Amino acid sequence: MSLPPPQGPPQRPAAPVRRIADLPPAHTALICVSLPGLAISTHEGQLTGQGLEGFYRAGRRVLSRCRLRVAGREPLPVQARMVGADRARFVGTVHASPDPGPDPDVVVERIRSADGVERITLYNATPRPLRLPVEVALGADLADLGAIAAGDPGPELTASVHDSALRWSGPKGDCAVTADPPPADAVASAGLLRWDWVLPPGGTRSLELRMRPDGTGPVRAVRRAATSPFAQARAGGDDPRVEPFLRTCVEDLRALLLCDPLHPSDTHLAAGAPWRCGPAPAESLAAARMTLPLGTRLAAGTLRILVRTQLGGPGLRSGMIPGPRRDAGTHLPPSCTGTEATLLFPVLLAEARRWGLPERETAELLPVAEHCLRWLRTTVGDGVYLPDPQPGGLLRCETQAHAHRAAVLGADLLDAYGRPGGPHLRQWAEELRGAFCGDFWIEDRSGGRPAAARTRDGRLVPHLAAGAAHLLDTGLLGSGTQAPGLLDKARTEQLARLLAGPAMDSGWGLRGLAATESAYNPFGHRGGAVRVPETAVAVAGLAAAGYEKEASGLLHGLLAAAEAFGQRLPEMFAGEPRTEGGAPLPHPAACRPAATAAAAGVLLLTALVGIRPDVPAGTVTLNPVRSAPLGEIVLRGLRLAGVPFSVRVDRLGLAMVEEAAVGLQLGV
């Protein structure tokens, strides 16, 4: 088949010019998350009502201002740090005595939690008693996060005093703040609470503030650790970074859990804080898939929640799981996340079954997966490729990879339950494999590369983008085997070279768009910024395909970036090249924590071990990275077949199972 010459991207229709307010920067904020609660602070510790600062519940700021004064002075900030996904600790000092010396007299500690609680503790560091007036000035605007992001939160509301508590009421709800111990005085007009304390030498005194939105009680996390769908996994070994990295990733995942209001036992992940705390089907499914080593409960809950959104009835969209459009950068038009979610549904179900999702639950979800697969075949029709769901829609490279994986794993799932349709899906997948390299591969002197997309009339969009990493993610079949991919061995090897080359690998992770492209922007969220999920997909895919050197380079870069970000990776950060002694540049609008970034950490570490389960067949195969890029690594407390699973890979790259379900056989 002859190929049309590579050409630029299709022209987008002109859009009306509109002004979009700059988002308040989030990269310097300390964001405590325990959904539906958030607490967003600067390193100063005081909540001033500026920018994003405040306590939130379900996207509404229930308290915008919380300013502390001790002995008439605001504490001097000394340290601010996260002490958990849901808590931050602020330490300050106050010079409260007439002593002219440089030493502070009072140490002030504030523990701020996403569940709407702040505990303030004062410590007298002097050898004499101190009389300390304490004031907390509070304010509330009850503004929606969207209005705050647009720079229009509205005015603060006027407080009232009820039983020593301050209350605010507005059209969008109510909020109250109570204090323990109760204040000596409360001034509604100023939103002020006052105490008069005497601290003995070396003595401490504490007060606790509780935010109560709508006056219904304190904000609480949707899911406590005791009911978390995630296993209590731990990491260890030669590299000291792996233990805090995995711990932080799991903490962030727990913090982003949401439950279906009508079915509280079903949980899924919000995309990320602060901007995307609501449902996001494609991201929820992708994160659930990457966290299967922590158990199948999240996958089951996510799938059940999305069952209730699947489109039915007649029409071309029947069977789709709807999702919003996603900007794809300046080189491509926006993509449909509903397409990605619809293709991920049968993939997640098939792989969750391999990890131990009970057969009964799998069978209950199977009809929905069948409907997704029927949508796939109906949309492809008599053609070979899956287009974007609009007239004349693009044929995206990564969409074909998602569709091929869904067809192969979906056929395997249908066969396992004696359902029809498997042979038809396999036949189409084979046709797609036969045509893809001829239609999507751009030959050049360096060995060629995959095109980012192809128009319906055959023009190629030649940009090299991180979406190509999905060509390496083929999925898991029975007996621990990987499904076939769309690229042959030679082209897979070339793609490995490209992903590990300096144009794509920033030294911190995989850029969304190669630095050699004319549309490259190191801060472009799909146009050059490092994409953490795609980097993890590339590492896992390269490792599975045997390109360990390339996988190790990306792995080390992302672990170094995680260390620079305090182990809490954002969804993206700038694609600036890594320099000696440098640090990755944060993106001011990135979510942090983000579900797919936290889940990517789980995928990164488990990819080193190469766990390939087949619980229905009673086997698990290990395919570790033989070069042992992190030295010895131990993963304990994972979950396979519903019980703990632990594995060790030594410095020689040899894997040993230390704990597993009774009767589970180690495959070859």
Q: What is the pLDDT of residues 382-410, one digit of tens each?
A: 999 999 988 888 999 999 999 999 999 99
Q: pTM above 0.85?
A: yes
622 contacts 646 by C-beta, under 8 angstroms: no
- Compute the distance between CA of residue 245 and CA of residue 530 in angstroms, rounded to an integer: 18
Cis link prior to 244 (omega < 30° from 0)? Answer: no
> Is the four-CA dihedral 514, 516, 517, 522 of positive or negative sign?
positive
As a whole number, mean pLDDT of residues 32-46 equals: 96
pLDDT at 213: 86
A 10 A CB-CB count for 442 gives: 15
* Beta-bridge partner residues of 93: 76, 107
Give the mean pLDDT of 487-508: 97
If you average pLDDT over residues 505-529, what whole number do you get?
A: 95
| pLDDT above 80 for 155 | yes
Q: What is the mean pLDDT of residues 461-466?
A: 94
Cα torsion angle, 140, 141, 147, 152, sign: negative
Residue 171 contacts residue 138 (beta carbons within 8 Å): no
Residue 30 pLDDT exceeds 60: yes
Helix (H) or strand (E) holding 52: none
494-498 long-range contacts, CB within 8 A, separation 24+: 494/447, 494/448, 494/449, 495/449, 495/450, 495/468, 495/471, 496/472, 496/542, 496/545, 496/547, 496/550, 497/447, 497/550, 498/449, 498/464, 498/468
Mean pLDDT, to the nearest integer, of 609-632?
Answer: 97
Q: Which two tokens stand for residue 370?
A: 């069948």
- Concatenating the DSSP letter of every residue in 155-176 gives PPPPPEEETTEEEEEETTEEEE
Residue 121 has pLDDT above 90, yes or no: yes
67, 193 contact by CB (below 8 A): no
What is the DSSP secondary structure assignment for residue 275, as one 8-state letter?
Answer: T
The mean predicted confidence, pLDDT, of the chain is 92
Q: Given a cut of 50, is residue 6 above it in pLDDT?
A: no
> Which residue type sits at 569?
L
Helix axes 532-545, 489-500, angle to 10 degrees: 140
Strand partners, 113: 87
| 37, 114 contact by CB (below 8 A) | yes
CA distances from 282 to 341, 342, 396, 587, 595 (A): 4, 8, 16, 22, 11
- Once rounded to an integer, what is the mean pLDDT over residues 628-651? 97
Burial class (CB in 10 A: 0-12, 13-18, 19+), 188: middle
pLDDT of the residue at 11? 43
Percent of the chain residues topping a pLDDT of 70: 95
Q: Taking Cα atoms as reference points, which of 347, 361, 225 lies closest to residue 292? A: 347
Question: Quick one: which H or E segment has residue 13?
Answer: none
What is the band of 13 on the pLDDT scale with cuts at 50, 70, 90? very low
The pair of structure tokens assigned to 578 is: 């890594």
Region 209-230: what's the mean pLDDT? 65
Q: Is residue 493 within 8 Å of residue 545, measured between CB atoms? A: no
Q: Worst-scoring range by mean pLDDT, 49-53, 237-241, 312-316?
A: 312-316
Tally of CB atoms within 10 A around 187: 15
Q: What pLDDT, on the 0 to 100 scale, is given for residue 462?
A: 93
Strand (E) or helix (H) holding 8: none
> What would the 3-class secondary structure string for 498-550 be?
HHHCCCCECCCCEECECCCCCCCCCCCCCCCCEEHHHHHHHHHHHHHHCCHHH
Instruction: Name the β-bridge partners of 260.
Output: 263
CA atoms of 462 and 442, how far apart (whole Å): 7
Residue 529, pLDDT > 70, answer yes
CA torsion angle 296 486 370 467 (round to 10) = 60
Per-residue pLDDT tens over the stretch 87-120: 999 999 999 887 777 889 999 999 999 999 999 9
Span 291-303, average pLDDT: 98
Place of tokens 């997966």: 369
**572 touches 530 (CB < 8 A):** yes
CB atoms under 10 Å from CB of 617, counted, come to 14
Other beta carbons within 10 angstroms of residue 658's beta carbon come to 12
- Do the beta carbons of residue 536 and residue 473 sit within 8 Å? no
pLDDT interval class at 224 (50, 70, 90): very low
Which residue's structure tokens are 């002030």?
Answer: 108
Nearest to 576 by CA among 620, 525, 515: 515
Would you state the structure tokens that stand for residue 330, as one six-digit string?
A: 């300046």
100 CA to centre of own chain:
50
CA distances to 449, 520, 522, 526, 571 from 442, rounded to whole Å, are: 5, 19, 24, 21, 30
Classify burial at 68, counting beta carbons within 10 Å of its beta carbon; exposed 0-12, middle 13-18, buried 19 or more: buried
Token pair belonging to 462: 């030649």
Query: Tokens for 29?
Result: 């904020």
Residue with tokens 């067809």: 407
- How far is it, in rounded angstroms, from Cα 146 to Cα 23? 10
Asked whether residue 456 carries a pLDDT value surpassing 90, the answer given is: no
Q: For the chain, how big is the Rg over CA atoms in Å?
A: 27
Q: Average pLDDT in the 245-251 region?
A: 97
Nearest to residue 319, comparing CAs of 262, 275, 376? 376
Determine the straight-line distance between the first and last CA of the chain, rounded to whole angstroms. Answer: 40
Give the 3-state secondary structure of residue 251: helix
The pLDDT, as a whole number, for residue 183 is 95
Identify the band that residue 3 occupies on the pLDDT scale cut at 50, 70 and 90.
Answer: very low
Q: What is the pLDDT of residues 177-212, one digit of tens each?
A: 999 999 999 999 899 999 999 999 999 999 999 998
pLDDT value, residue 419: 97
Partner residues linked to 638 by β-bridges = 645
The residue-averaged pLDDT of 413-421 equals 97
| pLDDT computed for residue 2 by the predictor | 34
Is the per-residue pLDDT at 448 higher than 90? yes
What is the per-residue pLDDT for 9?
Answer: 42
pLDDT of residue 61: 95
> How far is the CA of 70 from the CAs of 75, 188, 504, 605, in angstroms?
7, 20, 52, 47
User: What is the sign, positive or negative, of the torsion defined by CA atoms of 314, 317, 323, 327?
Assistant: negative
